[in-house]
Amino acid sequence: MITRRTALRAGVAGASVIGTGGMLLPVVTATADEPRSAAADLDPVGIAKFTQRMPLAPVLQPYLTTNTTSYYSMTLKEATKEIVPGLNTPVRTFNGSFPGPVIKAESGRRVVVKQTNTLSDPTSIHLHGGHVPQDSDGSPMDLIAAGGGTKTYTYPNTQPHANLWFHDHAHHLESENVFRGLTATYLLTDDVERRLGLPSGAYDVPVQLRDARFAQNGELVYQMGDFQHRNVILANGKAWPFFEVAARKYRFRFTNTANMRFFDLRLADDSELVQIGTDGGLLTAPHRTNSVPITPGERADIVIDFSRYPVGSTVELVNKAAAPGEPVDLIGRVLQFRVTRTASDDSVVPAALRTLPPLATATVTRDIELRMDETGAPSDMAYINGKTFDMDRIDTEIAYGATEIWTVKNVNQFVPHNFHMHLVQFRVLERNGAAVTAGAETGLKDTVALMPGETVKLQATFTGYRGTYVYHCHMFDHGAMGMMANMRIA
Ligand code: C2O
Ligand code: CU
C-alpha cells in the first residue's frame, strides 16, 4: 500500500476521494520517485495562455461514395505541429492532423476506412463506441504492421447516432501512440438527432481535450504512469487556446482523449451548461448543470448559450478536477471563449431528445474487480479479477444475445479507474448501490468512471456480432499495465 509519506512526496496531499452527485474529485496516486530529467522539461508556467486560436479538425471526405457505402483512406504518419506557441513538436497523426480528422457518418450507411501505417511502430485502429464486427474492431492483437502496413476496416453503422472516436489500440503501445497523437473523431448521426434542430454547422464544434508534457525542445515527453508532469492542457491540439464565438447557442462535442486525466468541465462563472449527450448519443432529456465530468474515453455533448454574455467579453472553460497538490493554475484552465459578435439563432434544445429502449431482462450477473498495485514502484501492475491481460486467454464467455448485469468495483484506495467495454453501449443501473435516475449516466454509455472504492452496476445486451472483444480501464497507462481482459460472445 502507498503510505501517506509516499503520497506527500509525490505531491498528493492526503489522497482523498469520492464522486458524489456527479461531482467527481479525481484522485491521483503516487508512482515511483524515479529521478526526473526536470532540467530538460518545458515549464508550463511559461507557456502563454489563450494566445492561440483553437483549430477545428478537418472533415475528411470520402474518395468514393456508392448507394450503400462511403470509402475513406487515411495514412498514419509523423508530422510536426506548433502545439505550444513558438515550439515544434513531432507527433504521430492520422493524415498529418493533430488531432486527426473528423469522419461524418450516418446510421444505416456503411463506412469503409483503409488505414496505411507509415509509422515506425505497429498500430491497431479502434473505433471507440462502435458496434462493429470483430475483424474491424481494432483490437490489441489485430495489428497494422509498421512501415507501410495496411488494413481496411468496415463500419456497418447499424447503431443509432453517437459521438465516436478513433484511437490506437496496439497492446503495450497504445498508451504512447495515443499520447503522441493517434486520435480522431467519428460523428455518427441519424434522423432522430437531425430533426431536433440543435445548433449545427459552424455552431457544432467537436473538441478533443487532453493533457501533455513537453521537453524544452518541444518534444513530447512520454513516461508510463506519469500523471504528475502532464500539466499542459490541449484543446484540439493547441495548448490553452481561445475560441471566438457569437453570442448565441453552440454545441460542443467534447472527447476526453487524455491517457489518464479526469476533467470536470465548468464555466468560470459557474453558469449553466446543458449536457445533451454522452458516449452513446443523446440523453432522453437535457441535463442542466454547472459541472460536466469526463474521464478518459468518455464524451460529453454540451450546449452553451453565449447570448448571456455581452459582445467583447470572455469566459473561460475551466477544469475543477484537480487533486490536492496539482497545479490548478495550469490544469484547472482549459479554453477561453471570446464573444466577438452577435448572430441569429434559430437552433433549439428540445425538452425531449430521444427515447431509449426499455431494459431487457438480464439473465446473467458477473463481478468485475479493478485493482492495481499501489506500492509506487515502477513495476506496478494492474489487474482485472486478479489477472493481467493475456491476449490468448478468454476471461468471460458470453452467450450470443444474452443480457447481463456486471457489477464493477474499483477496490483501490487511491487510484481512480474507469471501465470501457467494446462492442456494446451499456446502461448504468446503479452507482454505489443507488439507482442512477438522473444526469449524464442515464444515457447510453461505453465508458464509466470509478473513483477509488466505487462500484457501478452495468447492463448490456451482447448481440449483433460474435467474436472476441476486450474490456478494460480506459486510462491507457493502466490498460498497458495489464488492466484489460477478453470476452468471447458465441
Ligand atoms: Cu477507447 Cu479499448 O478503447
Ligand atoms: Cu485504471
For 393, the domain range is 355-489
**d(CA 450, ligand 2 centre) in Å:** 9
- The whole-number mean pLDDT for each consecutive block of 10 residues of the chain, a chain of 490 residues, reads 31 29 35 50 97 98 98 98 98 98 98 98 98 97 96 98 98 95 98 98 98 97 92 98 98 98 98 98 98 98 98 98 92 98 98 96 98 85 97 97 98 96 98 97 98 98 98 95 97
**d(CA 479, ligand 2 centre) in Å:** 7
Contact in structure between 55 and 237 (CB atoms under 8 Å)? yes
Q: Which ligand does the CA of 486 lie closest to?
A: 1
Check if 299 has its Cβ closer than 6 Å to any atom of ligand 1: no
In a domain, 20, yes or no: no
Last residue of a domain, one of 136, 158, 193: 193
Instruction: Write down the residue that cell numbers 447499424 correspond to.
Output: 158
**d(CA 87, ligand 2 centre) in Å:** 32
Name residues whose C-beta falls within 8 Å of residue 445's C-beta, 6 or more positions apart in sequence: 278, 279, 280, 298, 425, 426, 427, 428, 458
Are 232 and 161 members of one domain? no
Are 77 and 188 members of one domain? yes
In a domain, 25, yes or no: no
What is the SS3 assignment for 275?
Answer: strand
Are 371 and 402 members of one domain? yes
Q: Which ligand does the CA of 412 lie closest to?
A: 2
Are 189 and 205 members of one domain? no
In a domain, 70, yes or no: yes
In a domain, 23, yes or no: no
pLDDT of residue 323: 85
pLDDT of residue 39: 53
In a domain, 38, yes or no: no
Structural domains in the chain (count): 3
Are 397 and 311 members of one domain? no
pLDDT of residue 375: 81
CA nearest ligand 1 atom 3, residue: 128
In a domain, 118, yes or no: yes
pLDDT of residue 148: 97
**d(CA 72, ligand 2 centre) in Å:** 33
Last residue of a domain, one of 157, 172, 193: 193
Name residues whose C-beta falls within 8 Å of residue 83's C-beta, 6 or more positions apart in sequence: 89, 91, 98, 212, 214, 218, 234, 237, 238, 239
pLDDT of residue 376: 73
CATH classification of the domain holding 466: 2.60.40.420
Q: Which ligand does the CA of 130 lie closest to?
A: 1
The three cell numbers of residue 48 are 502563454
Are 363 and 466 members of one domain? yes
Check if 128 has its Cβ closer than 6 Å to any atom of ligand 1: yes
In a domain, 471, yes or no: yes
Contact in structure between 171 and 481 (CB atoms under 8 Å)? no
Are 61 and 188 members of one domain? yes
Check if 417 has its Cβ closer than 6 Å to any atom of ligand 1: no
Name residues whose C-beta falls within 8 Å of residue 468's C-beta, 6 or more positions apart in sequence: 134, 139, 394, 486, 487, 488, 489
What is the SS3 assignment for 10?
Answer: coil
CA angle 50, 230, 257 (to 5 degrees): 80
**d(CA 362, ligand 1 centre) in Å:** 25
Are 230 and 138 members of one domain? no
Check if 131 has its Cβ closer than 6 Å to any atom of ligand 1: no
**d(CA 384, ligand 1 centre) in Å:** 15
Report d(CA 149, CA 97) in Å as an integer.
Answer: 20
**d(CA 128, ligand 1 centre) in Å:** 5
In a domain, 166, yes or no: yes
Q: From the alpha carbon of 484, which atom of ligand 1 is closest?
A: 2
The three cell numbers of residue 120 are 515506425
**d(CA 449, ligand 2 centre) in Å:** 10
**d(CA 262, ligand 1 centre) in Å:** 16
CA nearest ligand 1 atom 1, residue: 128
Q: Which ligand does the CA of 227 lie closest to?
A: 2
pLDDT of residue 379: 82
Are 381 and 451 members of one domain? yes
Last residue of a domain, one of 193, 214, 241: 193
Report d(CA 140, CA 138) in Å as an integer.
Answer: 7
Q: From the alpha carbon of 165, which atom of ligand 1 is closest?
A: 1
Check if 213 has its Cβ closer than 6 Å to any atom of ligand 1: no
Are 167 and 228 members of one domain? no
Q: Which ligand does the CA of 29 lie closest to?
A: 2
Are 51 and 140 members of one domain? yes
pTM as predicted: 0.93
Q: Name which of 238, 91, 262, 89 is nearest 176 in CA terms.
A: 91
Are 184 and 208 members of one domain? no
Name residues whose C-beta falls within 8 Å of residue 117's C-beta, 6 or more positions apart in sequence: 76, 123, 144, 145, 146, 147, 148, 149, 150, 151
Secondary structure of 127-184 in HEC code, one letter for each residue: EECCCCCHHHCCCCCCCECCCCEEEEEEECCCCCCEEEEEEECCCCCHHHHHHCCCEE
Q: From the alpha carbon of 471, which atom of ligand 1 is closest?
A: 2
Q: From the alpha carbon of 169, which atom of ligand 1 is closest?
A: 2
